[in-house]
Chains A and B, each alone.
Chain A
């Protein structure tokens, strides 16, 4: 199964606005993506509640996984999103 491991760049970690943007993008991708922190079970990357409950701080690495024909493209997009500081106003 394709995976990507990336450090969360947002200053507040994967909370509030960054979590909101990320889960929305995961939901919009149409692919079932999971997100996991080291040692924890993977959770649905499109659920803001589950993603926030991972409590990922700034700089921590997370692993995204997905299956299917579009998996690589979607994972690249989502990993790029996590590698961006989403606390910055656009």
Chain B
């Protein structure tokens, strides 16, 4: 039995499919005994990679063909080969020589920016394939899935998840990463059971049948029939709860809107079907911008925004403007040389370097509003000061957008929430980034995930302060981080006075159930119990003890 941090509450059984990581140069790669032979072997590796890519291009369709052909041409590049061979003939170990030469081109391309910078991914992919060939390890990347699969990887880059055929993915297990990593967010969004930070995951052999339990945070090899029965029973209870589509409220009728987090028009179509959610609390527009050489045009954006608004006609849709930077770099916006991107020019701060991005986005949103007659809410990410909030609100209103808010994810914004709410119509707390910044802990460092725990009392304090400011101003203060998806935390948030909870659609049924079982006063007591604790595990335990006992039983606590 392997242990890690679970994402969501789902469980599934299936065979392991491994995603091979990019091969690294061995720490003590030996200088070749026969440099001429090593150089020849390297040229053969380049040839094999180029031939493989061409074969792949021949059997592919659509835009993938051009990408594969261009990558094949890089693998054949004379300068790349000559420089690598020259270093090996000079006595350098092959993979180290390859890394040095590719590194030189990567630096040059990154500095040049624009169209060249976007070729860096292709260049790296050539490097990874040639290195794998030289080291005799499997080619990196995502294999083609033919049936139900449990994906096992060190960690998944956004590019890997984009290449995954999620229809066949029944569960995801990663050796690294925390519950707020990219992989975890995608898994939660698609309601795929996921366990991250699993020590020993990479030792699972291809094809081994494993039982992945996100609620327990476990991965069991060769599970018994009983485990399969238990999973089926949980699935049945979850389905029963999912049939309830009443609006979110406490037992005594205080409304707490239950909203969905989405990234694409397809997500919107899925989440908007039926009436399980009351709207969208977070539309992550950056998904539209990822893997692009240039920003999508105003027309293209307006079309996607209109499609999302139509999926939720008559319901609330909160659109977040571009949140690029840090772990979501964009070819046309990211500063390549930032040493500390999480603290750099990201989110709303891009208005300092590429103001036209925001302007185009707001114009496109106004176009979508005009085309559909729906009035989206709009908010900016990574706002730190009331002045930034005022500037953003003015820009949005200039475009004719009427309900304007900002994210509270920088501690400074939570501390000055009252002043910020004087400038805007609502705030939405991004608890993942709020935790990262108040705990001074990188979201991508799995080994520090205890510090990023959503139950850290300091994070709860900032949420409480922001919710109080919202109540005082009579303006909505919601939560759109993954905190909202945890049914126990949802009760705490409602008790703190949070007015809406936005989460992956799959998490809504249990949250709706947990809220409906507590009065507002009972929820406030649960919140007080959590706030009184001195550590994250204690806060969680205290909140669980304060829940109504029947709820704890249904949640399996």
Tell me the A residues contacting B by CB distance below 8 Å: 12, 15-16, 20, 23-24, 27, 43-44, 46-50, 52-53, 55
Q: What's the least CB distance linking A59 to chain B, in Å?
A: 16
A52 CA to B80 CA, complexed, in Å: 13
| Secondary structure class of chain A's binding surface, majority of residues | helix
Beta-carbon contacts of B73-90 to A below 8 Å, as 1s and 0s? 110011110000000000
Residues of B within 8 A of A (CB): 69-70, 73-74, 77-80, 105, 108-109, 112, 115-116, 119, 123
Asked if A49 contacts B74 (CB within 8 A), the reply is yes
Q: Please pick, from B73, B78, B116, the residue contacting A20 in the complex, using a CB distance under 8 A.
A: B73
* A53 and B112 contacting across the interface, CB-CB below 8 Å: yes
Task: State A43–B79 Cα separation when bound (angstroms).
Answer: 9
Interchain residue pairs A-B with the least CB separation, the first 5:
A47-B79, A50-B79, A47-B78, A49-B77, A15-B115
Contact B80 A47 (CB under 8 A): yes
Q: How far is the CA of A23 from the CA of B80 in the complex (A)?
A: 14
Which residues of the other chain, B, contact A48 by a CB distance below 8 angstroms? 73-74, 77
A49 CA to B104 CA, complexed, in Å: 11
CB contact between A53 and one of B69, B70, B74, B116 (< 8 Å): that residue: B116
Contact between chains at B70 and A52 (CB < 8 Å): no
- Which residues does chain A contribute within 8 Å of B77, judged by CB atoms? 47-49
**Closest chain A residue to B101, Cβ basis:** A49
User: Once the chains are docked, how many angstroms separate the CA of A46 from the CA of B115?
Assistant: 20
A74 to B115, CA, bound (A): 29
Would A27 and B78 be within 8 Å (CB), given that A20-B70, A20-B73, A48-B73 are in contact? yes
Contact A49 B79 (CB under 8 A): yes
Q: Is the interface of B mostly helix, strand, loop or mixed?
A: helix
In the complex, A63 Cα to B80 Cα: how many Å? 22
Query: In whole angstroms, what is the CA distance A20 to B73 when docked?
Result: 8
Instruction: A20 to B77: give the CA distance in the assembly, Å.
Output: 11
Do residues B73 and A52 form an inter-chain contact, with CB atoms below 8 A?
A: no
In the complex, the chain B residue whose C-beta lies closest to that of A45 is B78
User: Shortest Cβ distance from B151 into chain A, in angstroms?
Assistant: 32
Q: Which chain B residue has the least Cβ–Cβ distance from A32?
A: B78
Would you give the shortest CB distance from A77 to chain B, in whole angstroms? 19
A-B contact pairs, 24 of them (CB 8 A): A12-B115, A15-B115, A16-B70, A16-B115, A20-B69, A20-B70, A20-B73, A24-B73, A43-B79, A44-B79, A47-B77, A47-B79, A47-B80, A48-B74, A48-B77, A49-B80, A49-B105, A50-B79, A52-B119, A53-B108, A53-B109, A53-B116, A55-B112, A55-B116
Cα-based distance from A53 to B111 in the complex (angstroms):
10
Which residues of chain A come closer than 8 Å to B109, judged between CB atoms? 52-53
Q: How far is the CA of A30 from the CA of B17 in the complex (A)?
A: 45
Q: What B residues does A12 contact at CB under 8 A?
A: 115
**CB-based nearest B residue for A55:** B112
CB-CB < 8 A to A16: which residues of B? 70, 115
Task: Tell me the smallest distance from the CB of A74 to a CB of chain B, in Å.
Answer: 16
Write the nearest CB–CB distance from A37 to chain B, whole angstroms: 13
Contacts A12-B115, A47-B77 known; list 16 others, CB within 8 Å.
Answer: A16-B115, A20-B73, A23-B73, A27-B78, A44-B79, A46-B78, A47-B78, A47-B79, A48-B73, A48-B74, A49-B74, A49-B77, A52-B116, A53-B108, A53-B109, A55-B112
B73 and A53 form a contact (CB under 8 A): no
Contacts of A49 in B (CB 8 A): 74, 77, 79-80, 105, 123
